[in-house]
Structure 1
């Protein structure tokens, strides 16, 4: 079988052999390789000169600063804290060292005297001293308040104990970049990196080229000693990156050489290269035509199939009569289409049905309820909702195991389904709660059905030879009597179920206003902790009178709640809620503290 990949490979090989036979490739490769090697050698040689320059300059500056630090006049002025004398000594030393700034600092890095007009942020100098002390690095860079960068060389002033620090600074500016150019023969650009944006601090290039170079390097990703290619004013350059100071990698130097200058001797090959390129282009067009003819039709079929799958149509198969990879791709495409259809069907089922019982879940039940309400509204017929809560099921699962609990829940769902008409909807809401939607049933008929369901569940279910009786509570609400919105009807049926459980009755029909009371009770429960924490509870003392002598012999502490939204609440409204929710201890502790505090005040 001749594969598509083999055809493409043979065509590519033919094109490469044709180009090689014309001898273009060897000539071009040799020219490019030789030019690049010469350019690399030039950059490497000039970079070595630069590194030697930096090394010599570093040693010279360090020796100069150490000689200045050994000046006895400087120590005498520092010992006597003679600022004027310090200024005079610093001025002479700065001039002799050809430095731009000289600073004397105390051991904490605070400036005692300086020479020169350069000023620095007061926080930067202690940081410089800290770096010298912690890392033993005498050289570093500091940015002055005017934005210019200085190379600082810092040494201690010992007389013989540490008495301070001497730091000489040398401006990193265009003069320095020009010196590098004169000694290496390469343009030099000094860059400030770090956490901020890339910034050119000095260069031997014209201003326009500086901005172009900064923009180009800001968008490039390179490491130390990497070769960098870029364009300046339409000309190709190659650069080599070096650190000005290994101790301070934030300042980099890019040495640049013109590619055009190095490659000028190879421009005679340009016309020949253009001719060869035209020939290769022609051959490529011919090859593209052949490839399009061979694979264009099957690819269009696969594209059309992909669009059908995107639109949800999985019924039409892809027919590609080919023995190469396109034919195999069509077969795989058809298998993928069938797999997607099966998975979507399974996902749709899992999104709408309960996995354990196979019943519709809450989402699908609300859709069925919405449809039932629309039909009932058109025919002016009622719809009844029953929320069935299997109270003891969770306790049974906890005591006998979840496996038995799941089996019991499945049996309960089967018994509920068997007791209902086929036109009724049975759904599982969550946990041990079910929803029954009965069209054309009013409240009385729904209550009759609920009585029968209570009897069936109470008769017991058999799981692993164990007969288990279930106690249920059922809440009932009806459309349109109790509402017209599906979510509201479901909420009110749940409220009725909760009322049935609270009143210890099996069945309860929703009563108007109970939803608001339910919401009020939830709000009170939610605000209870805040009330205790923010002293919204109030304590009142009701005196007790001794009838024998008509005197006060004690008092009864009564708790009331001054709610910011509901107003003054009596204990009959919030005490039962606190007891049911397990929060009564909060009120008990608060009441004891408040009563004892009042007694203390009375004493």
Structure 2
């Protein structure tokens, strides 16, 4: 099937396809039946024709036998006639000729001859054709040799049927020879009797074949020669095919053959009429079948079309439509009932989806989507007056979940939702929960002063502890407000700026803050900062810096900490605090960590000296530890540059570990298995316990610079540093002190056996390209 046919078939309606398929099947069946009938008819016709030819041959032979019998009887009567014998005895030729004429005329013979006993003399009837005596002499000689009866012979080209009887008185006194010509009239009589054509072909003395008698038209007689010569069983004459049967004529010289022909087309005429009737019946049946199939298919497809219309209505979100055909008891009825059940189920699911889409399942309040829709509608009708969006976030709610459990926290959110609804002034106002412990309130017909009054009431309401069962909880809330039309023109802007004000209130711990453009001044910068960082990473604006670490016992530079700097094409060298915290907040710090690791691995071999190898420390963030694929990424970088894990020290802050201790521990274990040295950075500023620290696969502690720098003026800081060094050594860990800026501090660290020191006394961070020369100068000094 071509592509066009496939496309046309796909575009057909189902009812048309059903009708076409059924009609094609019926046509195939009728064609197969017609082919069988045609083959059977053809076989019957040919068998009937063969039978008719056999019968025709017998009829022809019977016809000749009857004529021979008539000739025989007439000849016997003539030979027994006394007067005829007397005329023969007296030699009266006139009487003999007259008797022959009378006798041949009586039986219709065209030739009557009286031959002498030795065939030397002959007397011929007066109406006989002129024939030489030698012919009669030869013919008499031939007939005398055969038994009594008729024989065929030729006189010239014309075939004759002859009978010869003796004349005795009482001895043989002569022979009476009578003959009938086998002419066209006899052949036509035969055709009328048998409905079979006949042709008599005679072989001449020069062996040429000549049809001497034929019921066929003259233009078709030439093919008879080929029939005889090639012994054909069928021959095409004109536009018709004739079945052929050949038979010997039994002539005295054997040079004549009878050919019987029967028209196959004529014989199959009645069957063709029957076939025509069958074709008409088939066409009528096809027409009736097509009409019936169309009606039946419409009966099937009409309900399907109705059900299809139902699906269109359901697609539009209308589920109140009635499904037709559910009362039927057939398969269509079952399908209709199935559609009706589906409609009911979809209606229920649609209702549930709408509820999930626009309502908060926990508190029963509207969710963010419904709140936004209501806010958009309120802005469309904002000509009635100003409105305010309040965003509220509970303080310390995370602590409640951690201490009292999430189930208690959920119940607490329900109580908060109920309290907030009490502060809604009109039916047009709305309270919604937009996620976690964050709520929004829409105040219509309210300005900034009214919003502050509502926020103040909410804040005072949180001064009373929330009682839930036997547990009492003190909570507070941070609230931000954005007013229309001054703070935004659309719903999204108002909600965003209300949230900005809420974050400002949480940062200031002031309870309520009205939005002001100054609160949002950094937002535009941070929106572009992420794009700038991506651009910097892609266009090689980042630079690798190294800050050396001094081995306190030997005075050698044993390690260095890798740092990243941003060489902005317009702003110059961007300080790390201007983009590292933002990168940690957005997650881009993971790309920065991989960039630093890649650069260190690429330059590692050039950073080594002949005196001692250099280990490079790289800082990891919380997001790096939570990335399950992070160890594999580092392995791929090392394999690419041919560097071993022992060349690196990975520094992790305590806070990064404690954000998700279990995942961090799993990642650290995998890094340790790869051979990395692990170090706890900023030790002393976090919240990790010694018991948990003991489980981590770390081999180094890095004391925070706030303690090291304070050693000169505060004995407490000095005690903390010395205790940390002793603790680390007791745990089998090495110690690095950062923030070393004076010789006195470095000397005290040497006295306490601190392993390494890092700070401005040794060197500030420097570009990696300058580090090699600086290290050589340090070693010489």
TM-score by length of 1: 0.45
Q: Report the TM-score when normalising by structure 2.
A: 0.36
Q: Which has the higher contact order (CA 8 A, sep 6+)?
A: 1
Rg larger in structure? 2
